[in-house]
Amino acid sequence: MDLSVVILVEMLYAVASLVLISAGLAVVFGMMKVINLAHGEFMMMGGYATITAVNLGVNVFVAMLVVAPITVGLIGLVVERLVIRHLYGRLVDTMLATWGLSLFFIGVATMIFGNTTTGISTPIPGFSIGSYQINGYNFFIIVVAIALVIGMLVILKSTRAGLIARGTMQRSDIAAALGYSPDRIYMATFFCGSALSGLAGAVLAPLVGLVPTSGGAYIAKAFITVIAGGPSLVAGLLSSAGLFGLVNQIFTFAISPVIGEVALLVSAVILLRLLPQGVTGKFFKGKL
């Protein structure tokens, strides 16, 4: 009984962390069709922003939820103005450019923070479920992920800004004809995507030992989740993160963490063979 609760929490946590890792990429890649290979480095910078802020005496939750997203969002803004905006619609070129950016950011982080592992400890104590101890921070991640999904839905669906953003992503020429500047809207969207990546890196920072190359660990999972999700932003993110999180945890508990990772990748391959357009290419069509 206790164990099944623990397993349930771990599964929810796995899904939530996949949602967090992929949300920023889903916005940048899913909405703007920019392949951001520096996504992992945006997360890494979110982590460093948090740790630096905490070391300067900022409250850890403020550092994670405010400082890191804004810092990384601003970095994203600069990157968009200097690099990305020249490359819209050139899928392969953005890949090359952002890969270069990722190397650049790793270099800069190494120069500033050194090539050693840093970290902060989790701000929430563990607690027990029956005879089991569980990481209280898992719940925080689950809550943040839920809030994030609801926030994205509300903004995209019920606000004028969300409507304009969606419209621009579908037909930027029509949006321009209606008097909106696609250039500005892309810029704002890229800012939001970067901020989400920064948030993910910040929230996950207390769980890991951070090094400048940490981003590499996330990038593959994020891309798999976003691509398997398909064209719908939120529904795609939720369905693929849910599926992969479950598969990963079931095999992890049943066999071993290595098999869990293998199962995640195998299920992604099978899924894309059966549903080449991603989950939401076939189901939940027309949903957000």
Partner 1 sequence: MSLDRRAFLGGTAAMTGAAMLPSFASAAETIKLGSILDTSGIFDAYGKPMDMAMRLAVDEVNASGGLLGKQVEVSGYDTQSDMALYSQYAQQLTRQDRVDVVHGGILSASREAIRQTMRKTKTLYFYNVLYEGGVCDRNIFINGVTPAQQVEALVPYAMKKAGKKVYVLAADYNYGQITARWIQKFVADNGGETVGLDFFPLDVSDFGSTIAKIQTAAPDLVIAPLVGGAHLSFFRQWAAAGMKDRIPLASTTLGVGNEQLVLTPEEGNGIMVAYNYSQQLDTPANAAFKASWLAAFGDNSNIHETAVSTYQGVKTWAKAVEMAGSLDRDSIIDALETGISIEGPGGKVTVDPKTHHAVLDVHLMEFEDQRMKVIETLPQRQPIDTQSVCDLAASPNDNTQYEIQI
Size of the site for partner 1 (CB under 8 A): 46
Q: Are 72 and 49 in contact (CB under 8 A)?
A: yes
Q: Are 195 and 65 in contact (CB under 8 A)?
A: no
> Cα dist. 174→158, 170, 188 in Å?
21, 9, 18
Q: Are 94 and 84 in contact (CB under 8 A)?
A: yes
* Smaller CB separation from partner 1, 236 or 260: 260
The least CB distance from residue 226 to partner 1, in Å, is 19
The least CB distance from residue 60 to partner 1, in Å, is 13
| From candidates 128, 173, 177, 179, binder to partner 1 by CB under 8 A | 128
| From candidates 13, 29, 105, 190, binder to partner 1 by CB under 8 A | 13
207 binds partner 1 (CB under 8 A): yes
Q: List, in order, residues 6 or more apart from 102 with CB less than 8 Å away.
A: 37, 38, 40, 41, 215
Positions in 238-257 near partner 1 (CB under 8 A): 249, 252-253, 256-257
Q: Are 53 and 229 in contact (CB under 8 A)?
A: no
17 binds partner 1 (CB under 8 A): yes
> Cα dist. 245→25, 47, 281 in Å?
17, 22, 20
The token pair that represents 148 in the structure block: 């994030």
190 binds partner 1 (CB under 8 A): no
| From candidates 167, 216, 231, 281, binder to partner 1 by CB under 8 A | 216
| From candidates 50, 98, 138, 232, binder to partner 1 by CB under 8 A | 138
Binding site for partner 1 (CB under 8 A): 3, 6-7, 10, 13-14, 17, 115-122, 124-128, 131-138, 206-211, 213-214, 216-217, 249, 252-253, 256-258, 260-261
